[in-house]
Amino acid sequence: MENPLSIEPLFHLGPVPVTAPVVVTWVIMAVLAALAWATTRRLTLRPGKAQTVLELMVTTIDAQVADTMRRDPAPFRALIGTIFLFVLAANWSSLIPGVEPPTAHVETDAALALIVFAATIAYGIRARGMSGYLATFAEPSWVMIPLNVIEQITRTFSLIVRLFGNVMSGVFVVGIVLSLAGLLVPIPLMALDLLTGAVQAYIFAVLATVFIGAAVGETRDPAANDRKDPSDD
């Protein structure tokens, strides 16, 4: 019996096998890039509906990052925002018949988690310096160094497994129900997948923000302090 978790290459680019998640990812990238180019081509100070939606999305991401990190969100906006949009688009791509979301394969989730892991280290070193960043592993005591190192790895794995398990299970459930019941029965489950996909995208982006924020530490950034802290209420 064929392993449902394994992927077969669709074609080869020279020695490189190109699988279905990669192709779907390219399509998603093309769609997101086209939408971004089309909607940001003519930005004005008096926004239309599309520009208003874009600005609302960007300001919401900025507010989320600022509230979590207590920092100016600008350096992290592209990374966090792209992760959220890509994961959301990838999760929702399951609604298209015949398309399996890239996040239902562990390679895509692992790639995103590796980027977050690398970004955590890079932002941490840039904010604290190499010694300062390494010193965070000895907090609150040097005894915690092994645990902190393990935590860096396990939390990255938790990112991978959480996203992979949720999306993959949803796809499997819809596929099984579709094969057993019929055409219209999986629709509620697909609607549930929409919610699960959005929640998982949000969780992945927020956890990435939390990891990076823990690495860079809090600062008294005026741009961040201008925003109202919900915990103050």
- Contacts with other proteins by CB under 8 A lie at 3, 5-7, 16-19, 21-22, 25-26, 29, 32-33, 36-37, 39-40, 43-45, 47, 51, 54-55, 58-59, 74, 77-79, 81-83, 85-86, 102, 105-108, 110-112, 114-115
Q: Element (H or E) spanning 13, and its range?
A: strand 9-13
Nearest CB to other proteins, comparing residues 111 and 194: 111
Q: How far is the CB of 143 from other proteins (least distance, A)?
A: 34
Task: Please give the Cα distance from 161 to 106 (Å, whole number).
Answer: 8
Hunting for tokens 């019929």 — which residue is that? Answer: 182
Q: How far is the CB of 216 from other proteins (least distance, A)?
A: 18
Q: How far is the CB of 206 from other proteins (least distance, A)?
A: 17
Q: How far is the CB of 139 from other proteins (least distance, A)?
A: 30
Nearest CB to other proteins, comparing residues 186 and 208: 208
Nearest CB to other proteins, comparing residues 59 and 169: 59
Nearest CB to other proteins, comparing residues 79 and 174: 79
Nearest CB to other proteins, comparing residues 37 and 233: 37
Q: How far is the CB of 138 from other proteins (least distance, A)?
A: 30
Hunting for tokens 């020695």 — which residue is that? Answer: 15
12-21 long-range contacts, Cβ below 8 Å, gap at least 24? 19/105, 20/100, 21/100, 21/102, 21/104, 21/105, 21/107, 21/108
Nearest CB to other proteins, comparing residues 75 and 217: 75
160: three-class secondary structure by DSSP: helix
Q: How far is the CB of 12 from other proteins (least distance, A)?
A: 10
Judge whether 185 and 27 are in contact, CB under 8 Å.
no
Residues across the chain: 233
Task: Please give the Cα distance from 84 to 203 (Å, whole number).
Answer: 9
Q: What φ, ψ does residue 9 adopt, rounded to 5°? A: -65, 140
Q: What φ, ψ does residue 15 adopt, rounded to 5°? A: -85, -5
